[in-house]
A and B are shown apart, each in its own frame.
Chain A
Amino acid sequence: ETGVTQTPRHLVMGMTNKKSLKCEQHLGHNAMYWYKQSAKKPLELMFVYSLEERVENNSVPSRFSPECPNSSHLFLHLHTLQPEDSALYLCASSEDLIPRETQYFGPGTRLLVL
């Protein structure tokens, strides 16, 4: 248990659906991250939030829309996804946005787009 929770753990959706992934951290951290992990590829950073402000958008398609209402919660809103978006989506947090901070990861949401 890392102090970072994600829901749902598994999600199957059609290409026309709209769904949201939720991440919550109970560590009092100021920075939160969304990562995508596709099969046989390294983790890819998608978004970075620091103190509820987005500081990084790593060329992610607009069908992925992040939201950070407060420093404990991070959402990833999904709409009109493609089958190639099927992957494990991982949330992480760190105390601050400093390069040498340890990131704590959630268990991930395994997404299948049909």
Chain B
Amino acid sequence: KNEVEQSPQNLTAQEGEFITINCSYSVGISALHWLQQHPGGGIVSLFMLSSGKKKHGRLIATINIQEKHSSLHITASHPRDSAVYICAVSQGGSEKLVFGKGTKLTVNP
């Protein structure tokens, strides 16, 4: 069992829909990262958070440390949001990131 689990694995939405991607982890962490990977491979860091909530444009990330769970929300989704969204955690005092398998999001016009 992977230490970082994401759901769903695949998600298809219509433009304008509100989207939620979930991440659960089983280890103690110092921070949780949400990353976006576009077709072709490039990865962009969206958020790094260790508590509470962060917002950037139409993206919102929340984390519940007690429940070991984080969510990434996209409001008013757009086809350009289509990508793979990856959750990763930094464990304790380690510089390693442990990655989930990713959620493939497709937003249709």
Give residues in A with beta carbon < 8 Å to B.
2, 31, 37, 40-43, 45, 48, 55-56, 88, 90, 92, 97-108, 110
Q: Can you name the residue of chain B whose Cβ is closest to the Cβ of A92?
A: B43
Contacts of A99 in B (CB 8 A): 30-31, 90-95
Q: Can you name the residue of chain B whose Cβ is closest to the Cβ of A107?
A: B42
Secondary structure at the A interface, as helix, strand, loop or mixed, is loop
CA A105 – CA B97 in complex, angstroms? 13
Secondary structure at the B interface, as helix, strand, loop or mixed, is strand
Contacts of B4 in A (CB 8 A): 42
CA A56 – CA B93 in complex, angstroms? 14
CB within 8 Å of A: which B41-72 residues? 41-45, 48, 50
CA A101 – CA B94 in complex, angstroms? 11
CB distance from B68 to the nearest CB of A (A): 17
- Whether the pair B48, A102 counts as a contact (CB closer than 8 A) is yes
- Whether the pair A43, B96 counts as a contact (CB closer than 8 A) is no
Indicate which residue in B48, B97, B102 contacts A45 across the interface (CB closer than 8 Å). Answer: B97
Q: 1/0 per position for B79-106, CB-CB distance to A under 8 A?
A: 0000000101011111111111110000
- Whether the pair A108, B50 counts as a contact (CB closer than 8 A) is no
Give residues in B with beta carbon < 8 Å to A.
2, 4, 30-31, 33, 35, 40-45, 48, 50, 86, 88, 90-102
- Whether the pair B41, A97 counts as a contact (CB closer than 8 A) is no
CA A72 – CA B48 in complex, angstroms? 24
- Whether the pair B41, A100 counts as a contact (CB closer than 8 A) is no
In order of increasing CB-CB distance, the 9 nearest A-B pairs are A108-B41, A105-B43, A42-B99, A99-B90, A107-B42, A43-B99, A100-B31, A99-B30, A97-B95
- Whether the pair B41, A90 counts as a contact (CB closer than 8 A) is yes
- Whether the pair A42, B101 counts as a contact (CB closer than 8 A) is yes
- Whether the pair B45, A105 counts as a contact (CB closer than 8 A) is yes
Instruction: Given A2-B42, A105-B45, A110-B41, check contact A100 B90 (CB 8 Å).
Output: yes
Q: Can you name the residue of chain A whose Cβ is closest to the Cβ of B35?
A: A105
